[in-house]
Amino acid sequence: MLQEESDLSLIIAQIVQKLKGSSLYAQLERQAWASLQRPEIRLESLKEDIKEFFKISGWEKKLQNAVYSELNVYPLPSHPAAPPEHLKEPLVYMRKAQGSWEKRILKSLNSMCTELSIPLARKRPVGQQKELLNKWNEMGTDEPDLSLFRPVYAPKDFLEVLINLRNPNYENGDSLSFRTHLGLIQVPLKVKDIPELKECFVELGLNTGQLGIDDSTQVPPELFENEHVRIGQKVLAEQDSAAAQQYIRQGSPTALRAELWALILNISSQPEDILYYEQLKTNVIQHDLLVDSLIYKDVKLTASNDDYYFVFEDYLYQVLLCFSRDTSVLGHFAYNSASPPKSYIRGKLGLEEYAVFYPPNGVIPFHGFSMYVAPLCFLYHEPYKLYQTFREMYVRFFFRLHSISSHPSGIVSLCLLFETLLQTYLPQLFYHLREIGAQPLRISFKWMVRAFSGYLATDQLLLLWDRILGYNSLEILAVLAAAVFAFRAVNLMEVTSLAAAEFLLIFLL
């Protein structure tokens, strides 16, 4: 009992600490002061009256949403003696693996830098600044020579690293048994099995209505759709994050999605947010970073070639270039196993006073990174709204898809969950694919790393991301990947090569 109480007070203290620095706190303070003018506020019962006022005016709800958001994003405090690395990643071997992976990435980036003799960063001459400002809304028309740039890494490079992950403390012996894991991932992480998944994702059960299925034209809307839409409108009217998160587990109506996501992610576009975005834009105009070219290349290679997303090319630059300048993103490294790369001012290598994070937000984009942003263009078209949503999605979810950690939503766990589901429930298929050299993970890895963006039609993708938000977990990606294999099992049993299996699955998606 005592332990729980002290845990709770620790959590409360932490959250209060966090929120004290936020603009919400300042707003609440201002509101409290302003409320003193109101007749119903009396000196004798000041505290209760102000609380009552907050409740009625909706400010309490905003505070609730902010607290809820904090609870969702930040891991609960652990033992007071635990060092901060443990918050990032408790297992040593995972931390080490992430560290060496980062070293490799940096090496690759640095060598590209030296080869091409391009500085990591430079100030833009005034003429170029003007030009860029004029072209800000149509950067896609630019055709810079990007032939010498290569993406720093691609998902398949990352997969190789994960395949070689080993826990040095774990010995499972040489003999094969029914427990032996036949897949590519060979680390002993705990993943959910189907009964546990069923419990966790109870709203996805067969007896519950879902958007995307129970709103098709054959089903009369009175059965589910109408009521669900009505509830959605009510949730939005109440402006309650927690309710929205619960609601969206059954999918979001297209017309309400943009607002619902903003509510769940606790994004409200205040003037200071718009100003912040403009500030980032100014940073982009003034300084040219090497990663900019990487971003350009990625957009040109992936999103611009996509049937759905080519239209939004310009927005992608506007978001991604600003994202790489955003130092507030550094905050998420507190709970991300990754660490931001450090760069040193020329000639001062090793001297901490001359170290900066590079890029400023600490995130080096890889091949396909722009696909995280592209589907959001269907929801928002003001750049700052689009930007805020993407940033929030990144620091809550997407970062886990390309860093090595033991977190249940981390890519390693997702891969293991996928393989375990397949091996347990479709053993014949798994064995067959393995025999023909087509390990299933080799096919599904890229789907999961990109959260299926570019592999699913946008309307279905958004329904999938609804559930990611609703359950605050990425596990559904692994379950979907396994389900795709199950759906195509009969055809897959007949293929005889990895290429044929890939081909078959392109047509599904």
Which residue among 9, 45, 128, 137 contacts another protein (CB under 8 A)?
137
Q: Which residue pairs from 9-13 have beta carbons closer than 8 angstroms and sit at least 24 positions apart in sequence?
A: 10/77, 10/80, 11/76, 11/77
Q: Which of 272, 252, 255 is nearest to 264 (CA)?
A: 252
Q: Are strands 121-123 and 287-289 parallel, antiparallel or unpaired?
A: antiparallel
Assess 110 for contact with another protein (CB under 8 A).
no
CB–CB of 320/365 below 8 Å?
yes
Burial of 395 (0-12, 13-18, 19+ CB in 10 A): buried
Which residue among 258, 285, 356, 500 contacts another protein (CB under 8 A)?
258
Assess 314 for contact with another protein (CB under 8 A).
yes
Options 21-29, 39-47, 136-144, 322-330: segment touching another protein (CB under 8 A):
136-144
Q: Which residue has the tokens 């774990």?
A: 170
Which residue among 50, 73, 377, 449 contacts another protein (CB under 8 A)?
377
Q: What is the 3-state secondary structure (H, E, C) of 94-132?
A: HHHHHHHHHHHHHHHHHHHHHHHCCCCEEECCHHHHHHH
Residue number with CB closer to another protein (305 or 497)? 305
State the amino acid at position 188 in one-letter form.
P
Assess 491 for contact with another protein (CB under 8 A).
no
Which residue among 14, 108, 254, 283 contacts another protein (CB under 8 A)?
254
Give the nearest distance from C-beta 454 to another protein in angstroms. Answer: 14
- Alpha carbons within 13 angstroms on the beta-carbon side of residue 388 total 25
State the amino acid at position 279 in one-letter form.
Q
Q: Where are the strands (E) in 371-482, listed by range?
A: none
Q: Which residue has the tokens 């009625």?
A: 56
Range 215-234, binding another protein (CB under 8 A): 216-218
Which residue among 305, 328, 496, 497 contacts another protein (CB under 8 A)?
305
Give the nearest distance from C-beta 367 to another protein in angstroms. Answer: 17
Give the nearest distance from C-beta 458 to another protein in angstroms. Answer: 7
Task: Give kind and range of the element (H or E) at residue 237.
Answer: helix 225-238
Assess 114 for contact with another protein (CB under 8 A).
no
Q: Where are the strands (E) in 290-395, listed by range?
A: 342-344, 355-357
Options 34-42, 307-315, 401-409, 467-475: segment touching another protein (CB under 8 A):
307-315
Range 439-468, binding another protein (CB under 8 A): 458-459
Options 98-106, 166-174, 300-308, 465-473: segment touching another protein (CB under 8 A):
300-308
Options 63-71, 149-157, 306-314, 466-474: segment touching another protein (CB under 8 A):
306-314
Which residue among 6, 9, 381, 427 contacts another protein (CB under 8 A)?
381
Look up residue 273 and give its two tokens. Answer: 């947010």
Which residue among 88, 257, 400, 450 contacts another protein (CB under 8 A)?
257
Which residue among 224, 247, 296, 315 contacts another protein (CB under 8 A)?
315
Give how many residues touch another protein by CB under 8 A: 27
Residue number with CB closer to another protein (11 or 311)? 311
Q: Which of 103, 105, 94, 98 is nearest to 154 (CA)?
A: 105
State the amino acid at position 312 in one-letter form.
F
Task: Give kind and range of the element (H or E) at residue 314.
Answer: helix 313-325
Window 141-160: contact mask with another protein (x via CB under 8 A): x-------------------
Phi, psi of 319 (to 5 degrees): -85, -50
Residue number with CB closer to another protein (178 or 507)? 507
Q: Which of 449, 453, 394, 381 is nearest to 153 (CA)?
A: 449
**Residues found near another protein in the complex (CB under 8 A):** 137-138, 141, 216-218, 254-255, 257-258, 304-305, 307-308, 310-315, 377-379, 381, 458-459, 507
